[in-house]
């Protein structure tokens, strides 16, 4: 078991990572509880698989609980999902001093985090992430929110969890596709700031599903890197945007595919990272060898890595550029990108000619045939 500490003034918390932690949730919650009652919000899939274990552990520890199950999938990260979560929290008479548990993947974490940021102007919440993506990324750092028709994560708040409990055993029931999508965010950490971690992933990535120790190491390394960045830039005034590597492309693709099963968030991130490396190469910032190595690794892992891996129609290059215009990194009407000087060397820049981005998108669309 390992613990990553996130030190933020007045909002410090721990991330517990390891096997068998679902049963330990009551013990970890205890110091934070004002009364012996919590509420849990989860999705319909996780409600079937993991909720009973958590509820039983709470009951054994003498902690009362009530739960709400919302439909599984990205579409629940919406105004409708938010209304359902907030109204239920109020129905349950949850007090500011109580704890709301977000049990599930990044969709539950982002939605419940936002619902608790605004209900009673702020209720504490605990992340109990059950996907690889949520354990390595979304449960940490306090970015919460929903998608709107204008784009991805465009309404939300920074609201840090009071505790994160990542039971790596819970990942055993995750479908391969969701595991590989989460891997998109894992590899992002190596690509943005740690070439040694990327090299470790090249060697160990293919056995993460079957090697508990390797999996726990990958989760802990990603959480530590995220915690380090969040501690120096909680609200994305600067460095935190590095965590957005691959997302400018990825979010536009998610929007273009209607936040549907056609493209999962982590898949969009993996494709977006490959495109960010291509763009960096075209601009003479990064070697073609590094870009090729990234593409080869994604292919070996079996995760999506190019626009050719997305089924169905996509907008043309200008259509995708128009979707990118809603990115939260836009400043003075100009898009800022996370580019790379090599593997592990990401940086943020506004100095990216629109025509270079359009050309990368056009070539990627042409590859689809
Ligand atoms: N806040 C952040 O910093 C941050 C970071 C990265 C991603 N995100 C957001 O996270 C979301 C994606 O998260 P996700 O990939 O976890 O998707 P998700 O929450 O939709 O989970 C993926 C699927 O796996 C199922 N599932 C969850 N745990 C399971 C388990 N243990 N066994 C079997 N099935 C399980 C879910 O029911 C769902 O169908 C996106 O909305 C993305 O924008 C947020
Ligand atoms: O925590 C962050 O900061 C990130 O950028 C992590 C991303 O993986 C995540 O997808 C985040 O939700 C993106 O945020 P956004 O502000 O670009 O919507
Ligand atoms: Zn992401």
pLDDT tens digits along 317-368: 999 999 999 999 999 989 999 999 999 999 999 999 999 999 999 999 999 9
Q: What is the pLDDT of residue 141?
A: 98
Annotated binding residue at 265? yes
- Taking 90 as the threshold, does the pLDDT of residue 175 lie above it? yes
Distance from residue 251's CA to the centre of ligand 3 (Å): 9
Quick check: 265 pLDDT over 90? yes
Quick check: 120 pLDDT over 90? yes
- Is the fold of 2-173 the same as that of 176-366? no
The answer, yes or no, to whether any atom of ligand 1 lies below 6 A from the CB of 22, is no
Cα–Cα–Cα angle for 82, 155, 240, rounded to 5 degrees: 125
Please indicate whether residue 206, judged by its CB atom, sits closer than 6 Å to ligand 1. Answer: no
Mean pLDDT score across all residues of the chain = 97
Q: Which of 237, 222, 193, 230 is nearest to 331 (CA)?
A: 237
> What is the average per-residue pLDDT within 2-19?
98
Q: pLDDT (tens digit, 9 = 90+) per residue, 136-146?
A: 999 999 999 99
pLDDT digits (tens, 9 = 90+) for 285-300: 999 999 999 999 999 9
- Structural fold of domain 2-173: Rossmann fold (3.40.50)
Rounded average pLDDT over 18-39: 98
Going by pLDDT thresholds of 50, 70 and 90, the confidence category of residue 369 is: confident
Say whether pLDDT at 9 is over 80. Answer: yes
Q: What is the percent of the chain with per-residue pLDDT over 70, rounded to a whole number?
A: 100
For residue 7, indicate whether it is catalytic: no
Q: How many whole angstroms separate alpha carbon 367 and alpha carbon 369?
A: 5
Please indicate whether residue 251 is annotated as part of the active site.
yes
pLDDT at 178: 98
Prediction pTM value:
0.98
CA distances (Å), origin 91, targets 58, 84, 85, 117, 118? 21, 10, 10, 16, 15
Distance 185 CA to ligand 3 centre (A): 6
* Residue 121: active-site member: yes
Ligand 2, atom 4, residue with closest C-alpha? 243
DSSP H/E element including 17: strand 13-18
Residue spans of the domains in the chain: they are 2-173, 176-366
Catalytic residue selected from 188, 244, 267, 297: 244
Q: What is the mean pLDDT of residues 85-94?
A: 98
173 confidence band (pLDDT: 50, 70, 90): very high
Position 112 pLDDT exceeds 90 = yes
Q: Fold for domain 176-366?
A: Dehydroquinate synthase-like, alpha domain (1.20.1090)
Q: Which atom of ligand 1 is nearest to the CA of 76?
A: 20
d(C-alpha 31, C-alpha 29), whole Å? 6
For 31, counting Cβ atoms within 10 Å of its Cβ (0-12 exposed, 13-18 middle, 19+ buried), the class is exposed
Q: How far away, in angstroms, is 11 Cα from ligand 2 center?
A: 19
Q: What percent of the chain has pLDDT over 90?
A: 99
Phi-psi region of 198 (alpha: psi -120 to 50; beta: other; left: phi over 0): alpha
Task: Give pLDDT, residue 159.
Answer: 98
Distances (CA, A) of 100 to 6, 29, 224, 268: 19, 11, 24, 29
Query: Which residue out of 50, 153, 159, 185 is catalytically annotated?
Result: 185
- Separation between Cα atoms, residue 182 and residue 299, nearest integer Å: 15
Residue 6: both structure tokens together: 């996130």
Tell me: pLDDT of 256 over 90: yes
């Amino acid at each position: 078991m390992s613990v990553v500490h996130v030190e933020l003034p007045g909002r410090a918390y721990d991330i517990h990572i390891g096997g068998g932690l679902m049963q330990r949730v009551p013990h970890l919650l205890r110091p934070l509880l004002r009364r012996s009652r919590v509420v849990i919000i989860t999705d319909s899939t996780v409600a079937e698989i993991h909720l009973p274990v958590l509820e039983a552990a709470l009951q054994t520890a003498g902690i009362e609980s009530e739960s709400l199950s919302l439909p599984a999938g990205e579409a629940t990260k919406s105004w409708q999902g938010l209304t359902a979560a907030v109204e239920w929290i109020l129905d349950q008479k949850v007090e500011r001093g109580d704890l709301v548990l977000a049990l599930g993947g990044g969709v539950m974490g982002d939605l419940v985090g936002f619902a608790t940021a605004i209900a009673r102007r702020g209720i504490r919440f605990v992340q109990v992430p059950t996907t690889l993506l949520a354990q390595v990324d979304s449960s940490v750092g306090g970015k919460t929110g929903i998608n709107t028709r204008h784009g991805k994560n465009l309404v939300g708040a920074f609201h840090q969890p009071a505790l994160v409990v990542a039971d790596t055993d819970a990942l055993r029931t995750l479908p391969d596709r969701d595991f590989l999508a989460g891997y998109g965010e894992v590899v992002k950490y190596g690509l943005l700031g740690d070439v040694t971690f990327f090299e470790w992933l090249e060697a160990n990535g293919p056995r993460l599903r079957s090697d508990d120790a390797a999996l726990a190491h990958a989760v802990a390394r990603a959480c530590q890197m995220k915690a380090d960045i969040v501690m120096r830039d909680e609200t994305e005034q600067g460095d935190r945007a590095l965590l957005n590597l691959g997302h400018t492309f990825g979010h536009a693709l998610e929007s273009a595919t209607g936040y549907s099963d056609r493209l999962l968030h982590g898949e969009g991130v993996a494709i977006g990272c490959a495109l960010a490396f291509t763009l960096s190469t075209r601009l003479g910032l990064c070697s073609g060898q590094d870009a090729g190595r990234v593409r080869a690794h994604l292919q070996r892992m079996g995760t999506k890595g190019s626009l050719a891996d997305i089924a169905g129609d996509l907008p043309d290059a200008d259509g995708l550029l128009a979707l990118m215009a809603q990115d939260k990194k836009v400043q003075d009407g100009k898009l800022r990108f996370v580019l790379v000087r090599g593997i592990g060397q990401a940086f943020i820049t506004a100095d990216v000619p629109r025509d270079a981005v359009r050309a990368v998108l056009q070539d990627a669309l042409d590859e689809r045939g």
